[in-house]
């Protein structure tokens, strides 16, 4: 019988470490529910000791998700581990994931600890974590740049203490498939009790090899768990992309011969949700989830596809959840039809008041846009959730004038803690004008690092989804806004980014 390959999703933890990708508790719950529909085996819901926000999110996810194992990251100390255990209390199945760096560089320069001290701390951490759960994962951080003899000592000792998963981390994306896979194989062969744990891979994509390294870890090294994120989101160049791993293993079952528990038809909805919530757009030529992944432009390819689909297609778009943009609702649809579509999309709004709020937004949108697609519904639910998040700033209205040869001008009305504020500004372009208008009242002084617009469905009727990334005093946040008018979407995105900048939650990065 084929072995099972465990899919460990870390979108909510390592993915959230991407600059600007921080998510609210409600956003994390929505993503966790989608990950459950996708049937991932393990959801790393966060790093409990990082901030009160992370703690609360893990707690809420633990109470909500029934099918996947819920995991919290923790550094190798009692305080972090106890915090992780507390956040995970309500989970039906829980895992504590503890880690400490083992490479000479990290031990000497970052931790300022001797190898013996690191070994002792790793042992203590696993021993302590076992008081709370039988499911304990240990990661030697920067494992791929660690010395073999030392790694063997540490891993043998933590398995003896009861670590049930060993995660060989390629923290800085330094690995090369053959070398990474072989190092893992050697570890498993040299460590006498290696068969007492499941081996896992965790690869970063700095050299574009995260997926290749992970698969080499499986095929050469014998790993049976892959840590990955939706859309490959993650620190710096990101992590191993879940969708690429799943479809590689499924499409090339002849080679990998591994079983997966994943429902692949939930991949594209998961990709869209994560992209929409974090503001990280998916590049069109991205494997599996990019808009062009199944588009055949050349005449020869189109001709071939029409004659026999498998001439140029190795996967079917519908198998990963692509559907032609379906008109799902329109101006005449009622509240029940709207609520039913929310249910079908797996969206549960907390109260009837929230459903009413989202329905009012839907009616308003349907007045301006005759065809409403699933993507529109996802965007308006996000808008409604932002409105309910006790955020300071809310968009109210906008008037904007642009004419060739004249300086664009904008008048924006927004509310701050319920009080309406009207402001005016001019700028080099319409977006500059609205930002200047808002800044004339808010004076945040934030720097705009990125501005991007994407059509969320096809056709000129589509809503534009704008992402604005702001930076202030070392903090980076992404704001997202959607509207059929892209200048309005820009104003919404700017206010959403300001709200995130104002939220006080300071977060610890586990790896610092």
Residues that bind ligand KIV (CB under 6 A): 14, 73, 99, 139, 141, 167, 169, 171, 202, 204, 510
Provide the residue count of the chain. Answer: 512
The Cα–Cα gap between 200 and 143 comes to: 12
For residue 478, say whether it is annotated as part of any ligand binding site: no
The Cα–Cα gap between 249 and 258 comes to: 7
Nearest distance in Å: CB 239, ligand KIV? 8
Are 494 and 449 in contact by the 8 Å Cβ rule? The answer is: no
Q: Which does 99 bind (CB under 5 to 8 A by kind): Zn ion, ligand KIV, none?
A: ligand KIV
The token pair that represents 500 in the structure block = 């995130």
Using the minimum distance from each CB to ligand KIV, give the nearer residue, 137 or 384: 137
For residue 202, say whether it is annotated as part of any ligand binding site: yes
Which one, of 75, 86, 85, 147, lies nearest residue 111 by Cα? 75
**Which positions ≥6 away from 32 have C-beta within 8 Å?**
12, 43, 45, 61, 64, 65
Nearest distance in Å: CB 240, Zn ion? 10
Using the minimum distance from each CB to ligand KIV, give the nearer residue, 95 or 204: 204
Phi, psi (degrees; rounded to nearest 5) at 397: -160, 170
Binding mask 8-27 toward Zn ion (x if CB under 5 A, else -) reads ------x-------------
Nearest distance in Å: CB 12, Zn ion? 13
Q: Which residues pair with 452 in a beta bridge?
A: 467
Residue bearing tokens 């004339």? 440
44 binds Zn ion (CB under 5 A): no
Nearest distance in Å: CB 449, Zn ion? 23
Nearest distance in Å: CB 76, ligand KIV? 10
Nearest distance in Å: CB 10, ligand KIV? 7
Using the minimum distance from each CB to Zn ion, give the nearer residue, 84 or 491: 84
227 binds Zn ion (CB under 5 A): no
Residue bearing tokens 């319920």? 418
Which one, of 192, 94, 109, lies nearest residue 145 by Cα? 109
Q: Which residues pair with 137 in a beta bridge?
A: 97, 165
Nearest distance in Å: CB 98, Zn ion? 14
For residue 296, say whether it is annotated as part of any ligand binding site: no
Which one, of 241, 147, 161, 234, lies nearest residue 193 by Cα? 161
For residue 416, say whether it is annotated as part of any ligand binding site: no
Using the minimum distance from each CB to Zn ion, give the nearer residue, 14 or 465: 14
Q: Which does 141 bind (CB under 5 to 8 A by kind): ligand KIV, Zn ion, none?
A: ligand KIV
Q: Which does 139 bind (CB under 5 to 8 A by kind): ligand KIV, Zn ion, none?
A: ligand KIV
Using the minimum distance from each CB to Zn ion, give the nearer residue, 135 or 170: 170
Using the minimum distance from each CB to ligand KIV, give the nearer residue, 99 or 362: 99
Q: State the helix-helix crossing angle for 374-388 and 352-368, rounded to 10 degrees.
A: 130
Which one, of 313, 450, 282, lies nearest residue 375 by Cα? 282
Using the minimum distance from each CB to ligand KIV, give the nearer residue, 105 or 327: 105
DSSP summary character for residue 106: I
The Cα–Cα gap between 358 and 372 comes to: 13
Annotated binding site: 14, 202, 204, 239
Name the residues that contact Zn ion, by CB under 5 A. 14
Annotated binding site for Mn(2+): 14, 202, 204, 239
């Amino acid at each position: 019988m084929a072995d099972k390959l465990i899919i460990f999703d870390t979108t909510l933890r390592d993915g959230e470490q991407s600059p600007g990708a921080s998510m609210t508790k409600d956003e994390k719950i929505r993503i966790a529910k989608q990950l459950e529909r996708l049937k991932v085996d393990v959801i790393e819901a966060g790093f409990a000791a990082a901030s009160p926000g992370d703690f609360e999110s893990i707690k809420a996810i633990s109470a909500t998700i029934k099918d996947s194992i819920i995991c919290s990251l923790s550094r190798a100390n009692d305080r972090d581990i106890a915090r992780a255990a507390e956040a995970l209390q309500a989970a039906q199945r829980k895992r504590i994931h503890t880690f400490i760096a083992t490479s000479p560089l990290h031990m000497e320069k970052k931790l300022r600890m001797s190898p013996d001290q690191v070994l002792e701390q790793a042992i203590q951490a696993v021993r302590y974590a076992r008081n709370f759960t039988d499911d304990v994962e240990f990661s030697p951080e920067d494992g791929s740049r660690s010395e073999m003899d030392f790694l063997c000592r540490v891993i043998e000792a933590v398995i003896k203490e009861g670590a049930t998963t060993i995660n060989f981390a390629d923290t800085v994306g330094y690995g090369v498939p053959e070398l990474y896979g072989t190092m893992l194989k050697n570890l498993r062969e040299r460590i006498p009790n290696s068969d007492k744990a499941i081996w896992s891979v965790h690869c970063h994509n700095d050299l574009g090899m995260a997926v290749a390294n992970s698969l080499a870890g499986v095929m050469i090294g014998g790993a049976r768990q892959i840590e990955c994120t939706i859309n490959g989101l993650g620190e710096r160049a990101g992590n191993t992309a879940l969708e690429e791993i799943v479809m590689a293993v499924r499409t090339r079952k002849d080679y990998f011969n591994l079983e997966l528990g994943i429902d692949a038809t939930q991949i594209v909805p998961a990709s869209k949700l994560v992209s929409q919530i974090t503001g990280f757009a998916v590049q069109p030529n991205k494997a599996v989830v990019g808009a062009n992944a199944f588009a055949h432009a050349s005449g020869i390819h189109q001709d071939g596809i029409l004659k026999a689909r498998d001439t140029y297609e190795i996967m079917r778009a519908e198998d990963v959840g692509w559907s032609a943009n379906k008109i799902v609702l329109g101006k005449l649809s009622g509240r029940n039809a709207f609520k039913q579509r929310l249910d079908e999309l797996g969206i549960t709004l907390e109260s009837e008041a929230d459903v009413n709020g989202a329905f009012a937004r839907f009616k308003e949108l349907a007045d301006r846009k005759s065809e409403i697609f699933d993507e529109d519904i996802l965007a308006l639910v996000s808008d409604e959730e932002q409105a309910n998040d006790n955020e300071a700033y809310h968009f109210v209205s906008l008037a904007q004038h642009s004419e060739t040869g004249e300086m664009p001008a904008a008048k924006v009305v927004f509310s701050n803690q319920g009080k309406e504020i009207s402001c005016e500004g001019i700028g080099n372009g319409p977006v500059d004008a609205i930002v200047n208008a808002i800044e004339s009242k808010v004076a945040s002084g934030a720097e705009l690092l990125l501005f991007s617009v994407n059509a969320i469905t096809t056709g000129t009727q589509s809503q534009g989804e704008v992402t604005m990334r702001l930076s202030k005093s070392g903090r980076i946040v992404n704001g997202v806004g959607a509207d059929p008018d892209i200048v309005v979407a820009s104003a919404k995105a700017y206010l959403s980014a300001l709200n995130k900048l104002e939220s006080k939650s300071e977060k610890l990065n586990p790896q610092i």
